[in-house]
Amino acid sequence: MTRQELIQQIREKRSFLCVGLDTDLDKIPAHLLQTEDPVFEFNKAIIDATKDLCVAYKPNVAFYEALGPKGWESLKKTIDYIPAHCLTIADAKRGDIGNTSTYYAKTFFDYLNCDAVTVAPYMGEDSVTPFQEFEGKWVILLALTSNKGALDFQFTTDASGEELYKKVLKKSSKWGSENNLMYVVGATRAEGIAEVRKIVPHHFFLVPGVGAQGGSLEDVAKYGWNDDCGLLVNASRSVIYASNSADFAIEARKEAQKLQEEMAQILTAKNF
Amino acid sequence: MTRQELIQQIREKRSFLCVGLDTDLDKIPAHLLQTEDPVFEFNKAIIDATKDLCVAYKPNVAFYEALGPKGWESLKKTIDYIPAHCLTIADAKRGDIGNTSTYYAKTFFDYLNCDAVTVAPYMGEDSVTPFQEFEGKWVILLALTSNKGALDFQFTTDASGEELYKKVLKKSSKWGSENNLMYVVGATRAEGIAEVRKIVPHHFFLVPGVGAQGGSLEDVAKYGWNDDCGLLVNASRSVIYASNSADFAIEARKEAQKLQEEMAQILTAKNF
């Protein structure tokens, strides 16, 4: 999916919601456990219930990997099932050198046919650019994460007072363009979002941390907005685990709709 | 495998070699492609040919993932086949927050039953410690990597002149102990190895970059040695792709043996 197609989807659906598919056998409704592929059955129901309300889905690869080869099958079936009008993001946080990164890229872009994959920046340019050689695909690079541990290294300042996450943004923005590179920017650091937006005015941000982690959608829009919206706000548990009974998909839709309606108001207020 | 058991293996085998299993269908001998599981058949032959010469095996997970569920089956069969006297390292470079890291840890420690997994530090403490809650297992944290991109962020200095990789070492060494934490320290930065050794005198290092990437075993031993050896030196392509004919395992053994003999000399010179 191209940047223009993504922007078009945001306009049409009045939403910049990404639904995180952190699908966990310990949390999905018990009645699904009798099916042949409970993970896929759960995802299918969630996708059917929310696909008109969101513009992206983000399976968290850890949950699928932990199930062995069967988990990878469920992941592939899920990606295949997501309609083409939604961006598919493999939240994998990979990062290795040259040839190895190319193999990770092949996994997510060729084998699974995802649109985007999350990547960690610690190993530098030659760990990121192999992903960017895949035409029409996206790297979503970790910049400022939403967790407590973000404080350990991401805010380390250099001699000129510049934090590491800013250096990551400045350097990496030269490795790709706003057409193949986005950034992970956590909603729990509202002021941080504004700082990131100053450095990369045109890039899209994937924003985790709204809802369960305490970030506010209003703040994200206030600090992160750009002329093309420039935001994909993720919600995982608050949507997909809204209920663990037979009505789980209906309740997931209600939660997604609340977020979509709030987003529609923001888009309208921004004359988008 | 405990630290004491690893040290004992190094003493007995007169080797601190780790063989990297970067098994690539495009590079293994053509005659194996007719077998049901060419990746496992190749690994099995390499392991049979080298298990008395090395103390660890390190499958590079990217190469297995790229083959889909079948790749994960080959990886599991490979880990199961590696004898208990060799440390098994999943080179996966994972790193995500809390619960997600726990799922990655379950994948590598429970499902695959590896002894160790490589982890990236960018997201900080809560992305690393979930792995350390698994008794008897190891985290191998990226500190100073062997690639060109290491220069992008790892050498960023703070106001006091301290490089990021040193900050990673100082902070992370408090999250675990030398009994459940090792570091990736690239052989291509010999002076860097000495700097790392000053900060973490007791930890083991996993050292890539000898051979194909140009690092020298002599320098690694000169700068990285500690009283318990403290080194696992990895060789991947130079060993496993020594030949791509029917004699591949014999040629792999010869290459592994050259390294083992050089290591034996170092161990003897150090009175180990």
A-chain residues near B73 (CB < 8 A): 69
Neighbours of A219 (CB within 10 A): 17
Distances (CA, A) of A57 to A54, A84, A120, B5, B230: 8, 11, 20, 45, 44
pLDDT at B212 over 80: no
Residue A214 pLDDT: 78
Q: Which CATH number do you get for residue B220?
A: 3.20.20.70
Q: Which tens digits make up the pLDDT trace of B252-266?
A: 999 999 999 999 999
Q: Regarding predicted confidence, which is higher, B215 or A130?
A: A130
Check CB contact under 8 Å for B168 and A158. no
Rounded Cα distance between B168 and B66, Å, is 30
Beta bridge partners, A21, equal A59
What is the DSSP secondary structure assignment for residue B136, as one 8-state letter?
A: T
Rounded Cα distance between A271 and B22, Å, is 52
Q: Which of A50-64, B111-125, B202-216 has the lowest mean pLDDT?
A: B202-216
Residue B213 pLDDT: 75
Rounded Cα distance between B202 and B3, Å, is 11
Burial of B169-192, coded b for 16+ CB within 10 Å and e otherwise, reads bebbbebbebebbbbbbbbbbbeb
Domain that residue B108 falls in: 3-269
Residues 59-88 of chain A with CB under 8 A from chain B are: 60, 62-63, 65-70, 72-73, 76
Residue B144 pLDDT: 95
Distances (CA, A) of A5 to A85, A86, A177: 8, 10, 16
Residues A119 and A132 sit within 8 Å (Cβ to Cβ): no
Residue B82's pLDDT band (cuts 50, 70, 90): very high
Number of domains in chain B: 1
Percentage of chain B surpassing pLDDT 90? 93
pLDDT at A90 over 80: yes
Burial of B104-127, coded b for 16+ CB within 10 Å and e otherwise, reads bbbbbbebbebbbbbbbbbbbbbb
pLDDT at A188 over 90: no
Residue B187 pLDDT: 87
**Extended beta strands in chain B, E state:** 17-21, 56-59, 87-94, 116-119, 138-144, 181-185, 205-207, 231-235
Question: Once rounded to an integer, what is the mean pLDDT over residues A225-248?
Answer: 96
Percentage of chain A surpassing pLDDT 90? 93
Rounded Cα distance between B155 and B186, Å, is 13
Query: Any idea which residues of A carry the catalytic annotation?
Result: 93
The CA dihedral of A157, A161, A163, A168, to the nearest 10 degrees, is: -110
Q: Which tens digits make up the pLDDT trace of B40-57?
A: 999 999 999 999 999 999
Q: Who among B100, B101, B158 is closest to A158 (CB)?
A: B158
Rounded Cα distance between A89 and A59, Å, is 7
pLDDT at A211 over 80: no
Least Cα separation, residue A124 to chain B (angstroms) = 4
Rounded Cα distance between B212 and B184, Å, is 17
Check CB contact under 8 Å for A103 and B153. no
Residues B224 and B205 sit within 8 Å (Cβ to Cβ): yes
Residue B189 pLDDT: 81
- Alpha-carbon Rg for chain B in angstroms: 18
Residue B236's pLDDT band (cuts 50, 70, 90): very high
A158 touches chain B (CB under 8 A): yes
Neighbours of B271 (CB within 10 A): 5
In sequence order, what are the residues at sequence separation of 6 or more whose Cβ sits closer than 8 angstroms to the Cβ of residue A166? A195, A199
Residues A181 and A168 sit within 8 Å (Cβ to Cβ): no
Give the nearest chain A residue to B157 (CA atoms).
Answer: A158
Give the nearest chain B residue to A22 (CA atoms).
Answer: B100
- Structural element, H or E, at residue B36: none
Q: Which tens digits make up the pLDDT trace of B216-228?
A: 999 999 999 999 9
